[in-house]
Amino acid sequence: MDSEAQNKVDPPLKGIRVLDFGQVYQGPYATYLMAQAGADVIKIEAPTGEPLRQREVRGGAAVFQMGMLNANKRAITLDLKTEKGKQLLRDLVPHMDILLENFTPGVMDRLGVGVEALQKINPRLIYASGTGYGLSGPDKDAMAMDITVQAMSGIMSVTGEDGGPPVRVGPAIADFMGGIHLYSGVMTALYERERTGKGRLVEVSMLESVYPTLASGLGAMHENNGEVPPRPGNRGALNTAPYSVFKAADGYISIFCLKENHWTNLCNAMSQPELITDSRFATSEARAQNLELTELQVTNWSSQLPKDEVFRLLCEHRVPAAPVRTMKEVSASEHMFARDSLQKLNHPDLGEVTLPTSPLRYQGTPQTKLTPSPRLGQHNHEVLAELLDLSADQVDQLRAEGAI
């Protein structure tokens, strides 16, 4: 055995078993991170499938999303509206370390399988609940979608162009930030259980997950002067320039001169050292006061070159910058493939796809290779035989009765 193989260690969550009632993005992303860390994640859906799977019939992005978010999981079906379906859940719980759901608050309690009922069966169970606005508070029952959470959190109020309407951030950041925080909460509770032997309820709201992002300048501006921060578009909200997205010959590039030496380096990269001592651009405050003129100097230079050439020059001169890449360009990123953060996967339903892996790295453990997302109920026989010792005929009978 070579030394590299000897140094490999098991993934950190090997041996941890998860019941995943996650749906759409928030819950499934948290459990995807668990699966990538080595946990045995068993995705549970109603016999009709979770909402995101139901969208698959329309094709497009939903198929890709299911392919990523449920990779490396096993899938079974349970109908919790039937008594036999609920009893199957109760039978599975003693074998579990974690149960995660992101239903509307109170759904599992009304079905008789909420946290108190299940922890009576398994006191070591960590029960994770992801919601839009939390399990308590006056807004807890408001319907939460990513766009509504962005609106409620204040994020939309500072996104968009000055004088224009509020704009949502393109990706579903509230869902995914909620999923990340849900994962971290579960890991914290799992660590605690090692000391106490007891599980606990972990809850995370999407609202509270994204609100702290406003601390990056905009929220502080409100606290300092009590005024509503402006919508700065691509420009920085702080008194810093240049800080924006600039035209290149074949697209756009983002440039941010946070420090004075960044501006000096940018001037040298543009072969315009005379701008360094020009009183109109000599300080960040001066450049902000002459913002249009400052940005014109940069655009006149960047627009003559391809964005990757601008990026190369600015990297050489140590200026914070990056090309604005399309999704197609990102999916071909040499850097991300080199880090194994993108993998190609032959999916039985999707064909060859390029999907992201977990951003978490564990020294000594290779990045988990993606396995295709399971079809609805694909592992019913396997999981129920393995954990509950049910025969194939018994599983078929449960399906015939509508329990799975």
Asked if residue 3 has pLDDT above 50, the reply is no
Asked if residue 291 has pLDDT above 70, the reply is yes
Strand ranges across the sheet with 243-248: 243-248, 251-256, 321-323
Asked if residue 5 has pLDDT above 70, the reply is no
Range from 200-204, 210-214, 235-239 that averages highest in pLDDT: 200-204
Mean pLDDT along residues 297-325:
97
Asked if residue 140 has pLDDT above 50, the reply is yes
What mean pLDDT is reported for the chain? 91
User: 347 φ, ψ to 5°?
Assistant: -100, 135
For residue 209, the model assigns a pLDDT of 97
Q: Kindly state the DSSP code that residue 349 receives in the 8-state scheme.
A: T
Asked if residue 2 has pLDDT above 50, the reply is no
- Quote the CA–CA distance of 182 and 100 in Å, as a whole number: 9
What are the tens digits of pLDDT across the range 53-76? 877 555 455 556 778 899 999 999
Hey, which residues are catalytic here?
A: 175
Asked if residue 4 has pLDDT above 80, the reply is no
ω before 242 within 30° of 0 (cis)?
Answer: yes
For residue 218, the model assigns a pLDDT of 59
For residue 307, the model assigns a pLDDT of 97
DSSP helix/strand/coil, 252: strand
Q: Could you tell me what percent of the chain has a pLDDT over 70?
A: 93
Choose between 163 and 184: higher pLDDT: 184
Question: At 399, is the pLDDT very low, low, confident or very high (cuts 50, 70, 90)?
Answer: very high
Question: At 51, is the pLDDT very low, low, confident or very high (cuts 50, 70, 90)?
Answer: confident
